[in-house]
Amino acid sequence: MQTFDLEAQGLRNLNSALHAQSANTNQTVWEVINPKGSHAIAVGLDAPIEVNVRGHTGYYCGGMNKQATINVAGSAGPGVAENMMSGTVVIEGDASQYAGATGRGGTLVIKGNASSRCGISMKGIDIIVHGNIGHMSAFMAQSGNMVVCGDAGDALGDSLYEARLFVRGSVKSLGADCIEKEMRPEHIALLTELLEKGGCDAKPEEFKRYGSARKLYNFNIDNAY
Amino acid sequence: MCGIVGLFLKDKALEPKLGEMLTDMLITMTDRGPDSAGIAIYGADTKGKAKLVVQSDFPEEDFPGLDAAMAASLGGPVSIRVNDTHAVLEMGSELLDVARSRLNEVNPRVRMMSRGETLEIYKEVGLPKDVAARFDIAQMSGSHGIGHTRMATESAVTTMGAHPFNTGADQCLVHNGSLSNHASLRRKLRRQGVHIETENDTEVGAAYLTWRMMNGATLGEALESSLDDLDGFFTFVVGTKDGFGVVRDPIACKPAVLAETDQYVAFGSEYRALVNLPGIEHARVWEPEPATVYFWGHKGAPTAHEKAA
């Protein structure tokens, strides 16, 4: 295992060392100590390596991730796993606003609560939150799945496209064009898989599914070119 | 952007280190606000006395004799303690209300930074480390304090545009964000006779709170109604003689992190600002909720009051 002291060695050195890893690297497990809320920790990785961050992170941790598994033993600042392509990011604590924003693939697991705008404009990522999520989450979400074991804040799924939202607790309010939908066997099967992936012990039957009513401008065939 | 830091001490043993801890927190927030910096420190209370902190761009010319001139004008003893471009004028508490207008008559070039029994505000243009060093903030002690690093968006980079803003006796405000209805609100408040010095948006926010409290609202009520009457983005941290409060607008896009231990409650725009505080590894760290007024006081229990939508 490689141990990297972020305070002593610096952010650019960390990210260049991680970017230098290829699919065949022998240095498959990295530990980052003294993160102290630094920004842009382990961004833009593209190798099947594991990075364990021991502490809280600042803005954009794990952004644009491909292939790598990033574990944060703490809470994450704004924009964690933003635009993730593949791989896994796990936050042991809470995540600040716009976690997993625009993510195209991979899995983001937040074991605490996520703040506002979680999964905003998500495009294929799976986001699994053990706690609650804040207001305007999944705004303009296009595809992918969001699982919330706790409650959702105001305006969930506003202007939603085709992402699937599963919430176990209460939803403070639904955003424009977001409605509760029937939970069919295929959704239970999908949710079972997602809960397992996220390490949640919740039962899929306890959740409600929310999705797009498909009534907004873009869904109206008369507006097509 | 802009950076905010705040520290409310529960453990009296830390009071001599307040300035040192706040300075460290402030400097960490330099890249959020390199234009100007300021700090509000709540220090010791001298019974029956109050302080007017003043600033001059020409301290060598303006400060000598200012105490005597103010004493003559106010008809009571006034002492002066000069600290770089700022000076602390100490006088009997009963003279504080008229002191600002008298200051303007005595020397209109000298500006008031703060007034109160324990509050002192120091602020200047420049990098946070330079501003903290020129006033030797690190040597100051106190029970709580607020700091701000400014990245100017709505008005010029000047001393008077720097935060914190004094909102009343022993009260101050710092702001991260931008208010979009400050021009109309400034006109309205000026018509009501509220003194607003600059074209700065935050000063209008501060004046708004002052005006609401002048008309009988408590600070908590004034902060709550600010959620209706101020348009724009804000994370506010306010200081009072007794403690400090936090409120974020309902959209809450301006960051805020709180940390609490048995020894203190700390606020930072980012967690980075808090990393050198004692025992931070075991602190409860969380993000304040949108549209919720939080307050910690030395006298009362902490409160968090969510405004009904």
A178 by DSSP, 3-state: which?
A: strand
pTM of the model: 0.93
Mean pLDDT of chain B, nearest integer: 94
Mean pLDDT of chain A, nearest integer: 97
Q: Å from A48 to nearest chain B CA?
A: 29
Q: What is the mean pLDDT of residues B121-140?
A: 98
- For chain B, say whether A198 makes contact (Cβ under 8 Å): no
The residue among A32, A124, A171 whose CA lies nearest residue A108 is A124
Question: In B126-169, where do the E strands start and end?
Answer: 144-150, 165-168
CB atoms within 10 A of CB B219: 21
Report if residue A149 sits inside a domain.
Answer: yes
Report if residue A217 sits inside a domain.
Answer: no
- Give the per-residue pLDDT at A36: 96
Which tokens is A208 given? 């409600």
The residue among B4, B9, B13 whose CA lies nearest residue B32 is B4
Q: How confident is the model at residue B65 (pLDDT cuts 50, 70, 90)?
A: very high
Distance CA A88, CA A110 (A): 11
* Cβ–Cβ under 8 Å, residues B25 and B148: no
Asked if B272 lies within 8 A of A78 by C-beta distance, the reply is no
* Cβ–Cβ under 8 Å, residues B164 and B173: yes
How much is the ipTM here?
0.91
Q: What is the mean pLDDT of residues A69-90?
A: 98
Distance CA B257, CA A75 (A): 11
Total domains in chain A come to 1
Residues of B in contact with A37 (CB under 8 A): 270-275
Report if residue A220 sits inside a domain.
Answer: no
Distance CA A32, CA A14 (A): 9
* Cβ–Cβ under 8 Å, residues B34 and B127: yes
Q: For chain B, which domains are there?
A: 3-41+127-308 (3.60.20.10), 46-117 (3.30.70.120)
Distance CA B157, CA A9 (A): 35
The count of C-alpha atoms lying within 13 angstroms of the C-alpha of B157, restricted to the half-sphere facing its C-beta, is: 14
Asked if B252 lies within 8 A of A75 by C-beta distance, the reply is no
- Please write the tens of the pLDDT for every residue from A90-123: 999 999 999 999 999 999 999 999 999 999 999 9
The residue among B159, B253, B256, B247 whose CA lies nearest residue B205 is B247
Sheet architecture: strand order including B119-125:
B119-125, B36-42, B144-150, B3-9, B264-268, B257-260, B284-286
B144-150 and B119-125 beta bridge pairing: unpaired
Q: What is the mean pLDDT of residues A192-200?
A: 98
**Who contacts B108 (Cβ-Cβ below 8 Å, separation ≥6)?**
none
Query: Smallest Cβ distance to B272: which of A36, A94, A154?
Result: A36
Report if residue A221 sits inside a domain.
Answer: no
Report if residue A77 sits inside a domain.
Answer: yes
With residue B129 as reference, give the H or E element that holds it: helix B128-135
- For chain B, say whether A7 makes contact (Cβ under 8 Å): no
**Selected residue of A11, A36, A59, A91 to mutate for chain B interface (largest B Cβ count, 10 A):** A36
- Give the per-residue pLDDT at B168: 87
Count of residues in chain A? 225
- For chain B, say whether A58 makes contact (Cβ under 8 Å): yes
The CATH number linked to A77 is 2.160.20.60
Which tokens is B228 given? 């209706």
Report if residue A165 sits inside a domain.
Answer: yes
Backbone angles phi, psi at A114, to 5 degrees: -110, 145
A164-167 and A123-129 beta bridge pairing: unpaired
pLDDT at position B271 over 80? yes
Q: How confident is the model at residue B304 (pLDDT cuts 50, 70, 90)?
A: confident
- Please write the tens of the pLDDT for every residue from B169-211: 999 999 999 999 999 999 999 999 888 988 999 999 999 998 9
Report if residue A222 sits inside a domain.
Answer: no
Q: What is the mean pLDDT of residues B302-306?
A: 77
Positions of B annotated as catalytic residues are: 2
Distance CA A215, CA A179 (A): 11
- Please write the tens of the pLDDT for every residue from B148-177: 999 998 899 999 999 999 988 999 999 999
**Percentage of chain B lying above the pLDDT 90 cut:** 85
- Give the per-residue pLDDT at B307: 64
**Percentage of chain B lying above the pLDDT 70 cut:** 99
pLDDT at position B76 over 70? yes
Q: Which residue has the tokens 């936050």?
A: A91
Backbone angles phi, psi at B33, to 5 degrees: -165, 85
Print the domain residue range for A144. Answer: 2-212
* Cβ–Cβ under 8 Å, residues A83 and A104: yes
Residues of B in contact with A38 (CB under 8 A): 272
CA angle B132, B135, B138 (to 5 degrees): 60
- Give the per-residue pLDDT at B309: 43
Report if residue A223 sits inside a domain.
Answer: no
- Give the per-residue pLDDT at A117: 98
